[in-house]
């Protein structure tokens, strides 16, 4: 049986007591010390960072040693994500933790519906959990990995091992577009309209633009408020859609296939000949939020996820599903065939979104059936796709899933 590790977090509001707040400040300071040392020695590996910061943190005698370890872990996480940004070519400042925080995975317990953790000097802090949080963590198969405290919230990270659904019968491809999300395969196609997200973003932009008062500080505060509102609203839409997609995939025993569109922002850079408004709209597109939500929800339900490589993604929206021929765009003034493509070989119009999901789903299934050692006879050979690669040692590919 294959297992997937599913992670989730449950958050509640919380305001820290004086003792906790001082511990949180200590934690923040220790994390910043670690970041500083890490930057100095160009180290982001936690083990190396620990050995470098050992002496520096040793001076904080009043802080329990395992909180020092957690500060190290937090710092190494921050440094690693900085390295990632640099690798991708983004401008980065030296990272710094501004707000008090406490993250720990050691010596905490849930007793009588309360979170209990040590403060040092044999003192403990207990925080009553809300009914919602308790109802979620009541499942005995869950493991509580860690807790995080901020000035306003407490969140618990929980995980469980979910058995992967046996007997997957096929795949559904997901094609993410700016205004719609298409899910499906050769048998069925389902549309989700996400144009509302674009409209919310546009409205927010026009509101923020209308602020007339010439004061950067106030403008920043108000626009951040509107930004949060915008994020919450679009998240709500994406949540409902991703929930529905995972539910359907689970019921029909389908694996979910994603294409790789990570470098799509490169298409909308300055100087690419597109208008400013268009580039703004395309760069505001939150294509990975949908993916993130579907991924963690699918893991929680045991639905397998397949990521196509960039090579496999190439041409998914351009190749004919019937014959593999490169499809042609309609003429600009051809209103009748909007969002359609012409196949010269089959002499027919195909829907752009249908083509994409069918290709994605098909290529995903090729990979999935190979890795699972499922007989590839389910593939329809005459459809003109790349010739099948013969099954190569399916066990090897399976190992990374196996528990
Ligand atoms: Zn064709």
Beta-carbon neighbour count of residue 243 at 10 Å?
13
Strand pairing report for 153-163 and 143-149: antiparallel
Determine the average pLDDT of the residues in 85-102. 91
Beta strand 348-351 with 3-13: parallel, antiparallel or unpaired? unpaired
CA of 345 to the centre of ligand 1 (A): 5
Distance 359 CA to ligand 1 centre (A): 13
Nearest to 324 by CA among 338, 345, 300: 345
How many Å lie between the centroid of ligand 1 and the Cα of residue 380? 15
Alpha helices, DSSP H, located in 128-170: 131-137
CB contact set of 48 (below 8 Å; sequence gap of 6+): 41
Other Cβ atoms within 10 Å of 392 Cβ, number: 9
Nearest Cα to Cα of residue 162 among 184, 146, 139, 183: 139
- Count of C-beta atoms within a 10 Å radius of residue 250: 16
Helical ranges in 142-215 per DSSP H: 195-209
CA of 324 to the centre of ligand 1 (A): 6
Q: Per-residue pLDDT averaged across 233-256, rounded?
A: 94
Ligand 1 centre to CA of 328 (Å) is: 10
Whose tokens are 């002499």? That residue is 347
C-alpha span between 67 and 23 (Å, rounded): 9
The model's confidence at residue 374, banded by pLDDT at 50, 70 and 90, is low
Closest to 160 in 3D by CA, of 279, 372, 32, 10 = 10
Provide the mean pLDDT of the chain: 86
3-state secondary structure of 281: helix
What are the CA-CA distances from residue 176 to residues 180, 199, 290, 305, 356 (Å)? 7, 17, 9, 16, 9
Assigned token pair, 250:
């689970």
pLDDT at 392 over 60: no
Domains in the chain (CATH in brackets) are 7-161 (no CATH), 170-195+234-398 (3.30.420)
Q: What is the pTM of this model?
A: 0.79
Determine the distance separating the centroid of ligand 1 and the alpha carbon of 310, expressed in angstroms: 23
Whole-angstrom Cα distance, residue 80 to residue 280? 29
Q: What is the pLDDT of residues 248-263, one digit of tens each?
A: 999 999 999 999 988 8
State in Å: Cα 169 to ligand 1 middle. 26
Instruction: Please check whether residue 255 is in contact with residue 168, taking contact to mean a CB–CB distance below 8 angstroms.
Output: yes
What's the 347 CA to ligand 1 centre distance in angstroms?
Answer: 7
Distance 343 CA to ligand 1 centre (A): 5
- Please check whether residue 397 is in contact with residue 391, taking contact to mean a CB–CB distance below 8 angstroms: no
Cα of 335 from ligand 1 centre, angstroms: 22
CA of 331 to the centre of ligand 1 (A): 18
Q: Which helix (H) or strand (E) holds 43?
A: none
- List, for residues 261-277, the tens digit of each pLDDT value: 888 888 898 888 899 88
Paired strand residues for 319: 326
Q: What is the mean pLDDT of residues 182-202?
A: 92
HSE-CB for 48 with a 13 A CA cutoff = 14
Ligand 1 centre distance from Cα of residue 192 (Å): 26
Predicted pLDDT of residue 385: 41
How is residue 13 written in tokens?
């509001």
Residue 183 CA to ligand 1 centre (angstroms):
21
CA 186 / ligand 1 centre spacing (Å): 15
- What is the distance in A from the centroid of ligand 1 to the CA of 28? 60
Give residue 188 CA to ligand 1 midpoint distance, Å: 19
Ligand 1 midpoint to CA 356 (Å):
14
- For residue 359, what pLDDT is reported? 92
Distance 344 CA to ligand 1 centre (A): 7
Q: Strand locations in 14-53, DSSP E?
A: none
Question: Degrees (nearest 5) of the Cα angle 182, 183, 186?
Answer: 115
Opening angle at CA 208, ends 150 and 88, nearest 5: 60
Gap from CA of 231 to ligand 1 centroid (Å): 41
* Percentage above 90 pLDDT, the chain: 52
Whole-angstrom CA distances from 258 to 40, 178, 358 are: 39, 16, 12
For residue 54, the tally of other CB atoms under 10 A from its CB is 11
Residue 380, pLDDT > 70, answer no
> Which DSSP state fits 264?
G
The rounded Å distance from CA 15 to ligand 1 centre is 62
pLDDT at 372: 72
CA of 189 relative to ligand 1 center, distance in Å: 19
In three-state secondary structure terms, 113 is coil
Separation of 327 CA from ligand 1 center, angstroms?
8
């Amino acid at each position: 049986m294959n297992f997937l590790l599913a992670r989730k977090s449950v958050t509640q509001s919380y305001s820290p007591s004086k003792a906790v707040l001082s511990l949180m400040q200590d934690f923040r300071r220790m994390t910043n010390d670690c970041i500083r040392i890490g930057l100095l020695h160009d180290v982001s590996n936690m083990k190396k960072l620990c050995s470098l910061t050992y002496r520096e943190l040793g001076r904080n005698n009043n802080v329990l040693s395992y909180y020092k370890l957690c500060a190290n872990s937090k710092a190494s996480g921050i440094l690693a994500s900085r390295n990632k940004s640099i690798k991708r070519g983004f401008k980065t400042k030296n990272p710094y933790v501004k707000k008090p925080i406490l993250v720990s995975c050691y010596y905490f317990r849930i007793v009588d519906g309360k979170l209990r953790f040590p403060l040092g000097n044999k003192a403990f802090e207990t925080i009553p959990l809300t009914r919602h949080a308790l109802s979620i963590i009541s499942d005995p198969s869950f493991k509580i990995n860690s807790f995080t405290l901020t000035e306003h919230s407490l969140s618990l990270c929980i995980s469980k091992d979910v058995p992967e659904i046996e007997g997957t019968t096929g795949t559904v491809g997901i094609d993410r577009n700016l205004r719609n999300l298409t899910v499906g395969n050769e048998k069925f196609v389902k549309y989700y309209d996400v144009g509302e997200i674009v409209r919310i973003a546009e409205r927010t932009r026009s509101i923020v633009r209308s602020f007339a008062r010439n004061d950067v500080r106030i403008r920043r505060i108000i626009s951040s408020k509107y930004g949060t509102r915008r994020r919450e609203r679009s998240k709500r839409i994406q949540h409902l859609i991703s929930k529905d997609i995972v539910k359907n995939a689970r019921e029909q025993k389908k694996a979910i296939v994603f294409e790789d569109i990570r470098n799509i922002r490169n298409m909308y850079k300055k100087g690419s000949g597109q208008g400013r408004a268009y580039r703004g709209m395309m760069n505001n597109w939150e294509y990975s939020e949908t993916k993130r939500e579907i991924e963690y929800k699918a893991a929680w339900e045991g639905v397998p996820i397949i990521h196509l490589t960039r090579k496999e993604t190439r041409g998914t929206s351009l190749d004919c599903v019937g014959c593999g021929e490169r499809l042609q765009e309609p003429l600009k003034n051809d209103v009748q065939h909007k969002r359609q493509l012409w196949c010269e070989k089959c002499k027919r119009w195909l829907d752009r979104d249908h083509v994409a999901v069918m290709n994605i789903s098909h290529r995903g299934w090729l990979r999935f059936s190979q890795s699972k050692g499922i007989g590839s006879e389910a593939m329809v050979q005459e459809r003109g796709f790349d010739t099948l690669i013969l099954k190569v040692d399916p066990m090897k590919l399976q190992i990374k899933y196996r528990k």
